[in-house]
Chains A and B, each alone.
Chain A
Amino acid sequence: MAFSSISFLYYFLPVVLLLYFMVPFKAKNFVLLISSLFFYFYGEPVYLFLMVAVSFTGYIHGLWINRSRNGRYAKISLISSVLTCLAPLLFFKYTDFAIKNINKLFGLDIPLIKIALPIGISFFTFQILSYTIDVYRGNAKVQKSFADFTTYVALFPQLIAGPIVRYTTIEKELSERTHSLEDAAYGINRFIIGLSKKVLIANQLGEFGEIISRSGNKTVLYFWLKAIAFMIQIYYDFSGYSDMAIGLGRIFGFHFLENFNYPFISKSITEFWRRWHMSLGTWFRDYVYIPLGGNRKGTLKWLRNIFIVWFLTGFWHGAEWNFILWGLYFALFLCLEKLVLLDRLAKIPAIFRHAYTLFIVLISFALFNGDGLSECLYNLKGMLGLLNIPLVNTEILYYLKSWSVTMLIAAVGSTPLPKSIIGRLKKYKKASIVMNIAAPALQASLLLLVTAYLIDGSFNPFLYFRF
């Protein structure tokens, strides 16, 4: 079930809210657990059992690790937890990729398993891993209640597309959390903002990409617009989903960490990755990069560690070579920046640093947004004018003109400018009063607008569902 659907907004959510706030505190986790399981069942009836089973292995391993900590089975229990947790992810996500490459390499004809990827498996696998590793490290207390542990894993606001909420983040709130009007209002506001980002901007840009892809004659401008539209779409799609998750979490009394922080204003790739999908970046930092030695074991090992982490980051996003290339592409620029570029970038005007970062990121998403390596290369060739096609034609200019306001709003909205303007206006008492009155009306209007777009729209995929 997607947050941006009529079934979620007007059927699932009212029922869950009603039940949740009606029952005493002791029963609230149970309501969340049952509703989260139904939420997953709605989208993936068969894989519900898989998700619960993976959750159960995480729970059991947590108990085992806790019991054997400091003992001779400590490491074995940890390795077992990592392997059993990763096994379903490897099987469902990477088997066909492995078979395809073995077939190509050895000229074999092993049939593909062609099995559907369980929704959100990459996210809940990493959450369970963070739990067992943190228990092993002594950073988290073991969870003795399977129901509470499964509530953490399956918690519907963040179950299928993140952010990757670590167990330590909500450990306390699982057993004791407060609910307040302020939190509810904040959560509602955040949820509606995320919903609007997703439906009013991301979906529209996705539709724009689809329309121009169907166009007759391709031009260089087409390839650039497609790449730019996708870059903005994926930001609004994913950050919108994160906003909704954070907002819903807050309504239910959970405080999830931020996942995005205006990544397109970054002045370097290093900064970009501190602002983009922060929960994934910090996960790899804490559970892969630092255990490998980080930057503490010499330059060569440091660079090796960066490449390993970014190979895995790319591979996490998808079982295709273009995702791996995408990860390694960032590894290359991160290494270059750390070794030479950052110092030099610091000496040039900020506008060029922004341009450099946006260009590198734009190219990265052209790599990302392709069905396999050959399509990615085709897109890049198109952008670079290597396909012997015209620069523009009347058709692409029509679509550019038709969607220019949407793209402009999207571009401005991806910067802190609107927030900064609101912040400045709030300093004036009269403006602050007007905004306090207007804000709820604006939120309600946005919710109705989103409803209108959902009713009349057919383009509504969540890009990160596939991860």
Chain B
Amino acid sequence: MEKIRNIATTVLFVIIIFGFSTVNIIVPDARLSFSERRLLAQAPAFSLKDVLGGDFFGKFESYTLDQFVFRDGFRGLKAFMNLQVFRQKDNNGIYIINGNISKLDYPLNEKSVLNAAEKISRIYNKYLKGINTAYAIIPDKNYFLAETNGYPSIDYDKMAEIMNKNINGVKYINIFGTLTIDDYYRTDIHWKQESLFGTADRLLEEMGISIKASDIGYIQKKLYPFLGAYYGQAAVKTEPDTLIYLTNDVIEKAHAYDHYYREYGSIYDPEKFSGVDPYDVFLSGQKPLVTIENPDSTTKRGLLLFRDSFGNSIAPLLLAGYSKITLIDLRLVSSEALGELIDFSEYQDALFLYCTQTLNNSYMLR
């Protein structure tokens, strides 16, 4: 019996290490990981300088990790072990409540929030004096899920307090009460466009616009299955979402002008649904500077929308009250360059709309 056990031990070990070694060499390398939404490391180019400097082997380590066969399966195995066997409450910061996936964002980084507030103040003082300006904070999913389920949660009131204290002359619009956890995708960080009428109405009203987004007629277009950013990070099988976008004749006629590439596109790009980030359906994803125009607008009001990715889905709803909206992503364009890129006299309103996670990690705002 002992001998059989020894043979089995040795044979299984040999099969695993030689088997995976061979398969890893044979299977062609992948360029990107859809589930993790990132480019995968490729085999490093050989150079004597890199080898002697140690860089080559460092890159080779990353390459072996990224290109290991059944990578997603192994990631799922680890998630299962951590959550089900070791009974950890999160895996790599990702936790799941009733099929709703979220990522811990803790603790409150007061310096980062202060940095965001100062950034907004600087932009206001430099460019927006005389323009009706407001800011709003979008609660992340943790606001609804974390504390009530025993997870550490940042002090959202304190975050708002830091912002209020350090932004002068800019109105605060509180939209926390307009949202619930059901207004967010279960597998993604973002909110659902079809659930944003209350939020859009509040923003329009506070900006002094009498038109309500909820009074406008929209047609729902559905895309399925939508596996959001958290789905890939969680590495656990859960029910996919349906991505719904709202359109009508006005939106269909509207154009989105990409200032960087100097080209016109549409408000929605359903082809992006099969790309790395299906949320890019809204305004074709992250772009530094995009202007959308409402050809049927009865007003001549223009809105500058400083935003993160959440802004892409709410902007088409806000368009009901504006003739044009220019969306500015400060993660991709420096605030110092805005004077050369935008004619501020064309805009009557400005809105800073950022998710709590962006404010808590605000050093990406340039």
- List A residues at the B interface (Cβ < 8 Å): 1, 5-7, 9-11, 13-14, 17-18, 42-46, 181-182, 184-185, 188-189, 192, 204, 214-217, 394-395, 398, 401-406, 409, 432-433, 436-437, 439-441, 443-444, 447-449, 451-457
Name the residue in B17, B18, B85 with the highest tally of chain A Cβ atoms < 10 Å from its Cβ: B17
Q: Name the distance in Å between A89's Cβ and chain B's nearest Cβ.
A: 21
Q: Name the distance in Å between A221's Cβ and chain B's nearest Cβ.
A: 14
Say yes or no for B10: interface residue by CB 8 A criterion.
yes
Specify which of B7, B9, B17, B106 is in contact with A9 (CB 8 Å cutoff): B17
Task: Determine the distance from Cα of A14 to Cα of B90 in the docked complex, in whole angstroms.
Answer: 35
Which of B124-180 touch A at CB < 8 Å?
A: 150-152
Instruction: List the B side residues contacting A182 at CB < 8 Å.
Output: 6
Instruction: List the A side residues contacting B64 at CB < 8 Å.
Output: 5-7, 10-11
Interface contact A449-B81, CB-CB below 8 Å: yes
- Beyond A215-B107, A406-B86, A440-B12, whether A455 also contacts B5 by CB under 8 A is no
Say yes or no for B306: interface residue by CB 8 A criterion.
no
Interface contact A5-B10, CB-CB below 8 Å: no
Interface contact B6-A185, CB-CB below 8 Å: yes
Task: Determine the distance from Cα of A108 to Cα of B249 in the docked complex, in whole angstroms.
Answer: 78
Task: Determine the distance from Cα of A433 to Cα of B5 in the docked complex, in whole angstroms.
Answer: 10
Interface contact B52-A46, CB-CB below 8 Å: yes
Instruction: List the B side residues contacting A437 at CB < 8 Å.
Output: 5
- Beyond A10-B17, A447-B16, A448-B16, whether A216 also contacts B5 by CB under 8 A is no
Task: Determine the distance from Cα of A402 to Cα of B18 in the docked complex, in whole angstroms.
Answer: 36
A14 (CB) vs chain B CBs: closest residue: B21
Interface contact A181-B12, CB-CB below 8 Å: no
Interface contact B89-A398, CB-CB below 8 Å: yes
Interface contact B78-A452, CB-CB below 8 Å: yes
Interface contact B13-A5, CB-CB below 8 Å: no
Interface contact B5-A436, CB-CB below 8 Å: yes
Contact with A along B15-39 (1 / 0, CB 8 A): 0111011001000000000000000
A447 (CB) vs chain B CBs: closest residue: B16
- Beyond A5-B61, A7-B64, A455-B75, whether A405 also contacts B86 by CB under 8 A is yes
A42 (CB) vs chain B CBs: closest residue: B57
Interface residues on B, range: 35 or more
Interface contact B24-A436, CB-CB below 8 Å: no
Interface contact B9-A185, CB-CB below 8 Å: yes
- List B residues at the A interface (Cβ < 8 Å): 1-10, 12-14, 16-18, 20-21, 24, 51-54, 57, 60-61, 64-65, 68, 71, 74-75, 77-79, 81, 85-90, 92, 106-108, 150-152, 235
Interface contact A181-B7, CB-CB below 8 Å: yes
- Beyond A395-B106, A436-B4, A451-B74, whether A456 also contacts B20 by CB under 8 A is no
Instruction: List the A side residues contacting B52 at CB < 8 Å.
Output: 45-46
Instruction: List the B side residues contacting A453 at CB < 8 Å.
Output: 78, 81
Interface contact B107-A216, CB-CB below 8 Å: yes
Task: Determine the distance from Cα of A11 to Cα of B81 in the docked complex, in whole angstroms.
Answer: 26
Q: Name the distance in Å between A390's Cβ and chain B's nearest Cβ.
A: 15
Interface contact A449-B4, CB-CB below 8 Å: no
Task: Determine the distance from Cα of A409 to Cα of B71 in the docked complex, in whole angstroms.
Answer: 27
**What would 11 more interface pairs be, CB under 8 Å, given A436-B2, A452-B78?**
A6-B65, A7-B60, A7-B61, A17-B14, A43-B57, A181-B6, A185-B7, A398-B89, A440-B5, A455-B78, A456-B235
- Beyond A45-B51, A181-B6, A456-B235, whether A10 also contacts B74 by CB under 8 A is no
A200 (CB) vs chain B CBs: closest residue: B81
A188 (CB) vs chain B CBs: closest residue: B13
Interface contact A443-B24, CB-CB below 8 Å: no
Instruction: List the A side residues contacting B7 at CB < 8 Å.
Output: 181, 185
Instruction: List the B side residues contacting A42 at CB < 8 Å.
Output: 57
Q: Name the distance in Å between A347's Cβ and chain B's nearest Cβ.
A: 41
Task: Determine the distance from Cα of A45 to Cα of B7 in the docked complex, in whole angstroms.
Answer: 38
